[in-house]
Structure 1
Amino acid sequence: MPRIQLLRLDHAPALLAFERENRAYFAASVPDRGDQYFDRFDERHASLLTEQAAGLCFFHVLVEDDGEIVGRVNLVDAADGSAELGYRIAERAAGRGLATAAVREARGLAVAQYGLTGLRAVTTLDNPASRAVLARTGFVPVGEIDLDGRPGLRLVCDLQAGPV
């Protein structure tokens, strides 16, 4: 079972490989990161670590025993006790419950390590797997939104309600 780790500088090569290998898979359900993301990856990675060091965001990777990254779970824009959750699981690792387990673990870290009391998330209506993960981990819909021209949902999770 992969372990969740807080993003570090030495994760960069494995993270870039993860993003490249799964680019088309991710683009089927979320907006593509674009070529610039890959062209300027090292600069972007350093920027994320700076945001993390400032306590603005908490970036996590799911790492296999061999060092391969098979997922990400991020808590971004942390302010006023809340952050936005985002996650991605590699195509080859999908359907094994990793997303649900990782989101549950990130919820626990949000409370115990980062002092958060709530999380927000968004997903498209045509992504039933993501909606199921969010429902299983305590997120409830609070409104409809437009995500890059696709209908979606905004969801929230009250971390003070306890673990799910």
Structure 2
Amino acid sequence: MMRLERLRADHADALLEFERENRGYFARSVPDRGDAYFVEFASRHRALLAEQDTGLCHFHLVVDDRGELVGRVNLVDVEEEAAELGYRIGEFAAGRGVASAAVEEVCRLAATAYRLSALTAVTTLDNPASRAVLARNGFTVVGNASPGGRPGVRYERRLVATR
């Protein structure tokens, strides 16, 4: 069981710990954030909150039934009723359906609360788990991509608001 929490100022410490704990794990399948990300985390967190307040992005933490942060799922670059989806699930929650459930929930929010009609996503070719999550959630391949200079695939999903 998981739930999404919209990013808040009081999430900073838990989010920084999550990113530190999972840095090596994430770097195996997505481009590393670099040392500056961690050094400048506090100011970056404030900047993300300010950006979220404008409606250009929607950041969410994935929290398990014990209240532990196990991932994040974000909608960025909101423009013309579309946004790009990004997500990362921590190593200890991987393989349990958390990513699929979090993406499913953020797609629902995107269509209803944020009134978006389309999402895009990009993943590397060597990340079959992420590709499977996108396929399970109705995303289709629309082209090639090169996230962080690595070979990848671009996906798209049309959204329909349901009551």
Aligned residues: 162
The aligned residue for residue 82 of structure 2 is 82
Matched residues in 2 for 1:138 and 1:117: separation?
13
The aligned residue for residue 115 of structure 2 is 115
Quote how far apart the aligned CAs of 1:147 are.
2.3
Q: CA RMSD in A?
A: 1.3
The aligned residue for residue 7 of structure 2 is 7
Contact 2:108–2:161 (Cα < 8 Å) also in 1: no
The equivalences for 1:30-69 within 5 A come to 30-69=30-69
Name the TM-score, length of structure 1 as normaliser. 0.95
The residue identity in structure 1 corresponding to 2:48 is: L
Contact 1:14–1:67 (Cα < 8 Å) also in 2: no
Cα deviation code 1:24-54 (max 9, x no counterpart): 0000011100111000111000000001000
Name the TM-score, length of structure 2 as normaliser. 0.95
Contact 1:121–1:154 (Cα < 8 Å) also in 2: yes
Unaligned runs of 5+ in 1: none
What percentage of aligned pairs have identical amino acids? 63
Question: Aligned pair in 2 of structure 1 residues 67, 14: CA closer, same or farther (>3 Å)?
Answer: farther
Matched residues in 1 for 2:149 and 2:47: separation?
28
Quote how far apart the aligned CAs of 1:65 are.
4.5
Matched residues in 2 for 1:161 and 1:6: separation?
20
Question: Structure 1 runs of 4+ off > 4 angstroms?
Answer: none
Unaligned runs of 5+ in 2: none
Cα deviation code 1:54-95 (max 9, x no counterpart): 000000001235542100000000010000000000000000
